[in-house]
Amino acid sequence: MTTSTMKAVRIHAYGGPEVLHYEDVPIPSPNPDDLLIRVRAAAVNPVDWKIREGYLQGFLKHELPLILGWDVSGEVVAAGSEVTGFKVGDEVYARPDIERDGAYAEYIAVKASDAAHKPATLDHVHAAAVPLTALTAWQSLIDAARLQAGQTVLIHAAAGGVGSLAVQLAKARGARVIATASAVNIGLAMELGADQFIDYTKTRFEDVVEDVDAVFDTIGGDTQERSWQVLKPGGILVSVVNPPSKETAAARGVRSAFVFIQPSGEQLAAIARLIDDGRMKPIIHAVLPLTEARQAHVISQGGHARGKIVLRIVD
- The DSSP bridge pattern shows strands 72-79 and 34-44 to be antiparallel
* pLDDT exceeds 70 at position 192: yes
pLDDT tens by residue, 163-180 = 999 999 999 999 999 999
pLDDT tens by residue, 204-243 = 999 999 999 999 999 999 999 999 999 999 999 999 999 9
Which pLDDT value is given to residue 267? 98
Query: Where does residue 47 rank: exposed (0-12), middle (13-18), buried (19+ CB within 10 A)?
Result: buried
Instruction: Please name the residues in contact with 258: beta carbons below 8 A apart, sequence gap of 6 or more.
Output: 238, 239, 240, 242, 243, 244
Which pLDDT value is given to residue 221? 95
- Mean pLDDT, range 156-165, rounded to an integer: 92
Helices 46-53 and 293-302: angle between axes, nearest 10 degrees: 100
- Mean pLDDT, range 248-277, rounded to an integer: 97
Which pLDDT value is given to residue 305? 77
pLDDT tens by residue, 269-295 = 999 999 999 999 999 999 999 999 999
pLDDT tens by residue, 103-139 = 999 999 999 999 999 999 999 999 999 999 999 999 9
- Give the pLDDT band of residue 3 (cuts 50, 70, 90): confident
Give Cα 105 distance to the centre of its chain.
Answer: 18
- Give the pLDDT band of residue 186 (cuts 50, 70, 90): confident
* pLDDT exceeds 80 at position 303: no
Alpha carbons within 13 angstroms on the beta-carbon side of residue 162 total: 28
Give Cα 27 distance to the centre of its chain.
Answer: 25
How many residues are recorded in the chain?
315
Quick one: which of 240, 314, 274 has its CA closest to 165?
Answer: 274
- C-alpha span between 176 and 148 (Å, rounded): 10
Percent of the chain scoring above 90 in pLDDT: 91
In this structure, which amino acid lies at residue 283? I
SS (H, E, C) 93-160: EECCCCCCCCCCECEEEEEHHHEEECCCCCCHHHHHCCHHHHHHHHHHHHHHCCCCCCCEEEECCCCE
- Mean pLDDT, range 85-101, rounded to an integer: 97
- Give the pLDDT band of residue 2 (cuts 50, 70, 90): low
